[in-house]
Structure 1
Amino acid sequence: MSTVKIGPKHQVTIPRDVFAQLYLKPGEFMEAISEKGRIILVPKRLTNRISAPSLTEKEQNILSRAKLKIEKINKDILKSKGLTKDEIKISCKVGLIAPEQSWWWDEKWQKGERKSAQEIKEGKFKKFSGVNNLIKDIRS
């Protein structure tokens, strides 16, 4: 349980771990309910949701692994692993990741992401002041 402070315009910052666990995004709506001296915030979706697909026990286990991997990727890409084909399939099925972006979560792609992140961390990149300078560098 986290303690939060109310700001001057009644703002409350939702702790990062709670925000991630609920798959919230900035700009989403919350319903605020006062109940027995407590404030309860309930995420509201302003579009109709299709009912959640039923999953077998095996699929539920795969989904649990996928959620953990996604959390790790979002937290520290250098110390994470990408999703397997089965994890991607189930994650798309339940709407955890968008099917058109599933390639990005694949381990093969994540390997490249980790390599790029490591190279950036080590300063192994160049900055260019314009496209012409970039082209000039490529041709040299």
Structure 2
Amino acid sequence: MLDKRKVRLMTKLALYEQKEGREDMKISAYYKKDYISMKTVATILWTTVGYGCVILLIGLAAMNSLLENLTLTTMLVLAAVAVVAYVAALIVTILVTRKIAGGKHRDARMRMKRYNHGLIRLLKIYEKENKE
């Protein structure tokens, strides 16, 4: 005979596994600090690549103006502005990434705890059925 509680619980667990479960299991495999560090390193790399592309495009777009007014002080000022802007962009993206990744890891761990609790409940139902 089918137990409605067992069927509902199994359906709920299966839906979780198919939707969020795969991603949550990957995230939960890491310690929170390791997950945040991994995401931070990836953000630093992609921010550097993106910033380099933006600087290159701005340099190409303003090539005529730069070549006409090019002096040593202009080059130094532009380099200093570029470095300061890069550091500022890097700091902002790192802070945002750490906040988002920390929240994502926390939420995934909570969902995994609920999932594991559901598995334990299902196991208890099966154990109860086997005793009878």
With structure 1 as the length reference, what TM-score do the two structures score? 0.22
> Which structure is higher in RCO with an 8 Å CA cutoff and minimum separation 6?
2
- Larger radius of gyration between Structure 1 and Structure 2: 2
TM normalised by structure 2 equals: 0.23
By percentage of residues, which structure has more helix? 2
